Chains A and B, each alone.
Chain A
């Protein structure tokens, strides 16, 4: 059987003092996928990325990249490149020199360096800015220089540390598609660290949710969203109503958009009556918080499909209904 993985992480542990930032992580990343490490601050995702790049050395376990054990291999000898969160562009070099830096270290002939730099700048649509210094570029342009500088090395693995965090909202949306397009066109493997679940969901082919130095769930965005393995994951990814199920430590994770909101008792497997305590109209959809008769409060999200329909108001008595398979059962 052919090994399709590009990265194998086995029992990887990294401690800072008494704290294990990464604690016994096992993970396999497939060739050509866009893999996201998702988690809150301090969950160990950045440390894991730095262990892949070689900036940190593990206390236990190992990283295998493309069949090669990376234990003891310094960053400058790894077939891996990283796009830093701060971009880390060299302020004393112009765009061309920045992008060509890695190729000059390889000692390639000048003509080849020039050709590959031009190609990389073309890929990120920065050819007109080749002679500028980083200080003369906007945030989005700097991000693309950082990307080109890493891509030009043709790494087996491109690591992206919060690639969109420093961009403003509008730019972030466009750049998201841009990164996915580049990843697919070049057929590279991207490993991306992010704290933004929406970013991870929309870009990644698979993602790992991390908490306290451990990987708690790995799967496609769809799997992780619809079948979270724990209350933590259900709560971290999107919004979830967590309803206790009768007897034992079992819960039902019910997404707000899986619940129907009606004026009269709906004809669904489950139906409860309640009263709207909060209503947020967001244009495309509305988010309601409904207090049901047993005292709990459920979040319900409704797409505003019909233009003329009046949205529900606060204080209104309503019915909530959901299908038998709408929720996902969790066991602690």
Chain B
């Protein structure tokens, strides 16, 4: 048996060695990718965040170890307000997406196995069109002379409807629309797994349908709820495109502030500090999400 483990090198061992180095290469590839395209840029941003603004040089940064940018973020009302309003908008949109997505996921999970693939396809279908184009399409829907208002005037439901575009409502609507699939899919996954005999057992033991839902379906779909909410909340907090296109000048979101600092004010260090803070703020929910995913994997 020993000779098998460390026998003389032969063609078999040659083969194994090539195979192993190939394996190592395959494993290394994503790490190289992450280092080049995530870790290096991140280090760059982190470095810039501690620098000072130098509008006359190119790039407009003077490296250093200044905490001025971070101090500004926590003292200037504008930034604090932008933080809070980002959290609030993302939070409300997440709740709205949950209330809308749960019945959808439930219906898909309970649909006949023949119709389920079609319904799931419909949820994923919007991804076939670019995100940006879909948000532009909402501008056309919600504008003052947009399709929605034209429809309202034509049917006579409202002769002088207000304009949704440019308000926080439009931003909420956009976020819910854009991120709904990310809510529906994990919810569907956890509802589809649910053993229907558990619901029969609940009914058998005297639970009315709604009580059975509250005591069995809801707690057992909790992993899906947490996953869906985090998948919507995390990107929504830092969202830039939706508030920029659908929101108005008074819709404050941190992603938009970052963009303005970088492109409009050319203040690279301040924009970098915003980016770092955004990342730190979202590390909490991301860790929560990953721990919850690991836990539900473990339970299986």
Q: Which residues of A approach B to under 8 Å, CB–CB?
A: 53-55, 74-77, 80-82, 84, 86, 88-92, 101-102, 105-106, 149-150, 153
B205 touches A105 (CB 8 A): yes
A76 touches B198 (CB 8 A): no
**Chain B, 203-222, contact with A by CB distance < 8 Å: what is the 0/1 string?**
11111110110011001100
C-alpha gap A49/B215 in the complex (Å): 25
B82 within 8 A of A: no
B160 within 8 A of A: no
B window 39-64: CB within 8 A of A: none
- Residue in A53, A77, A88, A102 whose Cβ sees the most chain B Cβ within 10 Å: A88
C-alpha gap A101/B201 in the complex (Å): 10
17 more A-B residue pairs beyond the given contacts A102-B206, A105-B205, with a C-beta to C-beta distance below 8 A: A55-B203, A74-B203, A75-B203, A81-B205, A82-B200, A82-B201, A84-B197, A84-B200, A86-B195, A88-B200, A92-B219, A92-B220, A101-B202, A101-B215, A105-B207, A150-B205, A153-B205
B195 touches A105 (CB 8 A): no
Q: Closest A-chain residue to B220, C-beta based? A: A92
C-alpha gap A54/B205 in the complex (Å): 12
Could you say which of A53, A86, A89, A153 contacts B206, with CB atoms under 8 Å apart?
Answer: A153
A76 touches B200 (CB 8 A): no
Distance in Å from the Cβ of B212 to the closest Cβ of chain A?
A: 8
Distance in Å from the Cβ of A318 to the closest Cβ of chain B?
A: 53
Q: Closest A-chain residue to B208, C-beta based? A: A76
Could you say which of B198, B205, B208, B209 contacts A102, with CB atoms under 8 Å apart?
Answer: B205
C-alpha gap A55/B198 in the complex (Å): 12
Distance in Å from the Cβ of B167 to the closest Cβ of chain A?
A: 42
B198 touches A88 (CB 8 A): yes
Distance in Å from the Cβ of B206 to the closest Cβ of chain A?
A: 4
> In the complex, which residues of chain A have a beta carbon less than 8 angstroms from the beta carbon of B212?
76
C-alpha gap A80/B205 in the complex (Å): 9
> In the complex, which residues of chain B have a beta carbon less than 8 angstroms from the beta carbon of A106?
206
A75 touches B200 (CB 8 A): yes
Distance in Å from the Cβ of B84 to the closest Cβ of chain A?
A: 35
> In the complex, which residues of chain B have a beta carbon less than 8 angstroms from the beta carbon of A74?
203
> In the complex, which residues of chain A have a beta carbon less than 8 angstroms from the beta carbon of B195?
86, 88
Q: A88-B195, A90-B198 are in contact. Are A101 and B205 (CB under 8 A)?
A: yes
Distance in Å from the Cβ of A65 to the closest Cβ of chain B?
A: 14
Could you say which of B200, B207, B220 contacts A91, with CB atoms under 8 Å apart?
Answer: B220
> In the complex, which residues of chain A have a beta carbon less than 8 angstroms from the beta carbon of B201?
82, 84, 88-90
Could you say which of A76, A91, A92 contacts B204, with CB atoms under 8 Å apart?
Answer: A76
A86 touches B205 (CB 8 A): no
C-alpha gap A217/B254 in the complex (Å): 77
C-alpha gap A76/B220 in the complex (Å): 20
Distance in Å from the Cβ of A231 to the closest Cβ of chain B?
A: 36
A149 touches B205 (CB 8 A): yes
C-alpha gap A285/B208 in the complex (Å): 54
C-alpha gap A139/B283 in the complex (Å): 42
C-alpha gap A68/B220 in the complex (Å): 35
> In the complex, which residues of chain B have a beta carbon less than 8 angstroms from the beta carbon of A91?
220
B window 98-132: CB within 8 A of A: none
By Cβ-Cβ distance, the 10 closest A-B pairs, closest first, are A102-B205, A88-B201, A105-B206, A75-B203, A88-B197, A76-B203, A82-B204, A105-B207, A92-B219, A76-B206
A90 touches B216 (CB 8 A): yes
Q: A91-B220, A92-B219, A101-B202 are in contact. Are A86 and B207 (CB under 8 A)?
A: no
> In the complex, which residues of chain A have a beta carbon less than 8 angstroms from the beta carbon of B220?
91-92
A sample of 15 cross-chain residue pairs with beta-carbon separation below 8 angstroms, ordered by A number, consists of A53-B200, A55-B200, A55-B204, A76-B203, A76-B206, A84-B197, A84-B201, A86-B197, A90-B198, A91-B220, A92-B219, A101-B205, A101-B215, A106-B206, A150-B205
> In the complex, which residues of chain B have a beta carbon less than 8 angstroms from the beta carbon of A150?
204-205
Distance in Å from the Cβ of A93 to the closest Cβ of chain B?
A: 9
Distance in Å from the Cβ of B122 to the closest Cβ of chain A?
A: 28
> In the complex, which residues of chain A have a beta carbon less than 8 angstroms from the beta carbon of B215?
101
C-alpha gap A153/B200 in the complex (Å): 16
Q: Closest A-chain residue to B212, C-beta based? A: A76
> In the complex, which residues of chain B have a beta carbon less than 8 angstroms from the beta carbon of A102?
205-206
> In the complex, which residues of chain A have a beta carbon less than 8 angstroms from the beta carbon of B197?
84, 86, 88
Distance in Å from the Cβ of B61 to the closest Cβ of chain A?
A: 53
C-alpha gap A174/B31 in the complex (Å): 58
Q: Closest A-chain residue to B211, C-beta based? A: A105
Distance in Å from the Cβ of B209 to the closest Cβ of chain A?
A: 8
C-alpha gap A88/B220 in the complex (Å): 13
